[in-house]
A and B are shown apart, each in its own frame.
Chain A
Amino acid sequence: MPKTIFEWDYSDYPGAKTYPHLFKPIQIGNLIIPNRIKYTATEENLNGLDGFVTDQGAAYLAQRAKGVVGGLCFMQGVYMDEARMGQGYVGQAAAWDDKFVPGLKRLADAIHDALAVAGIQLMDCGRVGAVDVEYGHGPSAVPQRLRIFRPMKEMTKDEIKAMIQQHVDAAKRGVEAGFDIMEISGIVGYLVSNFVSSYTNRRTDEYGGDIRGRMQAVIEIIQGVKAVIPEDMPLGIRLCAEELLDDVRGNTAEESMESYKIAEEAGVDYISCTLGWQESIYPVISRDIPMGNWIHLAKRAKEHVKVPISMAYRLFKPELPNEKIGAGELDIWEMCRPMIADPLMPKKVLEGKEEEIRHCVACNLCLARLFRDAPMTCYINPICAHEANAEFADPQPAEEEKEIMIVGAGPAGLECAYLAARRGHEVHVYDKRAEIGGTLNEARHAPYGDDELWTCVEYQKVMCEKAGVNFHLGTEVTEELIEEEMPDSVVLATGPIYPGLAVPGGDSDKIVYLADVMSGKADVGKKVVVWGNRKPGIGCALHLAKQGKKVTLVGKDKTAGFDVNPSFKWRYYIYMRQNGIVAYNDCVIEEISDAGIVVKTYDGYRWPINCDTIVLAQREPNESLKKAVQSEGIELFVVGDALIPRNLSSAVHDGYRIGMRI
């Protein structure tokens, strides 16, 4: 008889009717999982530097456990060697000794408290490891493509045997800690994938050679772990269906499917279908890749093996996984970033509250932070990684109820508005525009997935409505209005200003504003200079280049996209190149003439650029109304780009922080 850990009945929930395939049980090995939802293992750098679980880590996971509504909730991958060669992140949880069991048990308990199925993942980071030691280990010492990773040492046979034993020992600790399901991580360049890939495994002994030889270490891990875990504890593995390493002679798709079959033969009970490596030159999960782009790989996997197939990778909405599960092309819907951004995402789907989901915008800031040894942060979710901090996670009603005037219905103002209203304040949001969303109304027209940024405003709108925020759209706030209303507090969320160019020819009629260009109101010529080399300028340059215009980006920052996180910035550089956009960084516009502009570098070189249009995308803080508010003695807060022009994330985080304190 297969084991059931917690009984769940979804029949009364609206989401179970809309998405029937997501909320039906599945048997994995000898365990029944009540639904098809899995929160995938996620490093968050919240553990101690010594690998012990912390309150922050436990609180983070507890929230995600609530979100899976009885499904699978995995803790992050643990490293298993005392020498720490397998440790890829400074705050990665460890399982190389029994002393870690109590901490791991805390996580299993937290998942069980939410009546969800608790999963532990074994993850030696291999090539991506050795975060705090001199060398990484792997099947062969193939030099690193990316400099941020350590040089590699080839493992001896004894070291391979020891590594396999470490997996077995860690598995025993996982069992002792009370987990229900176990997984081996073989994704994105971690040790298991290093053995499997022809790119990184050049061995000629029994652990190398053809795909079977390259799978030998994996087979021994699977069999070793299987031997020490209970019969009703399923074992899964995450393996690449496509490595996307053709440029460095990695595995073919056929070899990858062969690795699936070998893992199945060796005894795994399910396979999580993954793709891409840290070292791949192709993007996999950033916003420029459409949702659902990779789902065909799950179908391919199912054609090769009989065990259940789970998959994540840009499956941010329930429709597609529901459809694919119904069609027998997928078994389990995995999510990582959708549940970083909104831990309760699948719960909201089940409860029929999809409009309340805060959607991930696939910016990859969360990843970028990990690789810079920082605790995880989410671009769009200010509570992420602060779950243990009640001030963030559960802001209390305000001690004194205030009447709050928020000037600006962009993301910063809206975020502040709903939270302040939820805490008992009377909140009035004003905007001179007739619609909410601020500058995002235009920014979302930039190509390569920026329309997804709008989900932030959609979420905030619903939150504001629920919290009873009062809107005064199409109303410009003036000194007189402030005097008339005399609110207790004013939050200026007015967005940035786009100053003109104080140079000869600065009054030229070639000059147009960013917002007018992005909304299609401005007449833009064939040759365009965009002034301002941060994200708004880049978005505008790409938008125009896509219309066939010849675009030059000029800006003061040393590199373009200073405000874009490194895990996304490289995408923009490629797209700029592909679209023929030339960027002159560390430069100013010195002069505007009939023919175009003169650019001047920081060290004084000058040259002309012909253009018909100059777009102002360089932003400055917005000082307007500040004095008026202060002179009335009203409490004042400034948030978002009005304070310092940054990005959507800063707007949301600023808004939230003021909303919880005001």
Chain B
Amino acid sequence: MPVDAEKEITRLYKALHSAQDEIGKTYYRWRKVALEFAGDNVKPLDVALRAAEVFGKDIGKSFLPRMNWLKGEEGFMMILGKALAGLWITDGGLATAEKGENPGEIFIKCTRDPWPTWAKEFGVSMEEVALCRERMYQSVLEDVSMFMNIPLKIELEKAISRGQGETVMRLYKTE
């Protein structure tokens, strides 16, 4: 039976997007459970940020085998930036890493992100979405900084509105 390329690609594409959709929603379902257990005295944003930290820490460990100084500082920062952008893409976003004007400065730009939409479905603020991504990336960088002995920082410069515009994060070396 000849392969119907359109049919195969459509099936794959749908499967990928529904998997991403489910993963996003599962996160918010779990967030609800965590808040129930946490009780009324705990701020939801604190719980979400703590979760972002835990995710980031674990993801950071998986970055370490790929860290490589052989291409020098510029090369290293770009590889790292691409890895962070890649993480966003896996999460369903459309992200890129671009070299900034200052040495070793990288901008990670996301022009399309499904997370604010999922957040809305679960009544979660867009601000939380943006802060969580920032915290997750900061937490990824903790182990990377220690591992490479380079103080690295990442900051949210501009947050995306619901599915529109561009979120920009600045990755740089503090020294």
B-contacting residues of A (Cβ < 8 Å)? 141-147, 202, 246-249, 281, 591, 593, 598, 605-608
Contacts and interface: CB of A to CB of B under 8 A. Distances in A.
B1 A147 contact: no
Contacts of A141: 146
Closest 4 A/B residue pairs (Cβ): A143-B143, A247-B68, A145-B64, A143-B147
Contacts of A144: 61, 64
Contacts of A591: 1
A141 B69 CA distance: 20
Nearest to B65: A145
B147 A142 contact: yes
Given A605-B11, A606-B3, A248 B61 contact: no
A154 to B, nearest CB: 11
B148 interface: yes
Contacts of B101: none
B8 interface: yes
Contacts of A202: 149
A598 B147 contact: no
Contacts of B38: none
A247 B67 CA distance: 7
Contacts of B149: 142, 202, 249
B148 A249 contact: yes
B33 interface: no
A607 B3 contact: yes
10 contacts: A143-B146, A144-B64, A145-B67, A147-B62, A247-B67, A247-B70, A598-B3, A607-B5, A607-B8, A608-B2
Contacts of A142: 146-147, 149
B61 A143 contact: yes
B70 A147 contact: no
B34 interface: no
B65 A248 contact: no
A569 to B, nearest CB: 15
B145 to A, nearest CB: 10
Interface in B5-30: 5, 8, 11-12
Given A147-B62, A248-B69, 17 more contacts: A141-B146, A143-B147, A145-B64, A145-B67, A145-B147, A146-B65, A147-B61, A247-B68, A247-B70, A248-B67, A248-B147, A249-B148, A281-B68, A598-B1, A605-B8, A607-B3, A608-B2
Contacts of B68: 247-248, 281
A568 to B, nearest CB: 17
B167 to A, nearest CB: 28
Contacts of A147: 61-62
A142 B69 CA distance: 16
Chain B residues touching A, majority SS: helix
A249 B64 CA distance: 13
A144 to B, nearest CB: 7
A421 B65 CA distance: 50
Nearest to A247: B68
A249 B3 contact: no
B90 to A, nearest CB: 19
A281 B1 CA distance: 45
A143 B1 contact: no
Contacts of A605: 8, 11-12
Interface of B: 1-3, 5, 8, 11-12, 60-62, 64-65, 67-70, 143, 146-149
B76 to A, nearest CB: 9
B148 A248 contact: yes
B146 A246 contact: no
B64 to A, nearest CB: 5
A610 to B, nearest CB: 12
Nearest to B144: A143
Contact of B70 (A143, A145, A246): A246
A605 B13 CA distance: 11
A144 B63 CA distance: 11
A477 B143 CA distance: 63
B18 to A, nearest CB: 14
Nearest to B1: A591
Nearest to A604: B11
Contacts of B67: 145, 247-248
A605 B67 CA distance: 34
A107 B3 CA distance: 67
Nearest to A593: B2
Contacts of B69: 246-249
Given A202-B149, A607-B3, A143 B64 contact: yes
A555 to B, nearest CB: 20
Contacts of B2: 593, 598, 608
A281 B69 CA distance: 12
Contacts of B60: 143
A614 to B, nearest CB: 17
A229 to B, nearest CB: 37
Contacts of B148: 248-249
A33 B142 CA distance: 51
A606 B61 CA distance: 35
A68 B70 CA distance: 42
A641 to B, nearest CB: 34
B54 to A, nearest CB: 15
Contacts of A608: 2-3
A423 B149 CA distance: 62
Contacts of A249: 69, 148-149
Nearest to A591: B1
A606 B8 contact: yes
Nearest to B143: A143
Contacts of A607: 3, 5, 8
Nearest to A246: B70
Nearest to B57: A143
A146 B65 CA distance: 7
Nearest to A504: B1
A113 B152 CA distance: 59
A249 B68 CA distance: 9
A59 B148 CA distance: 44
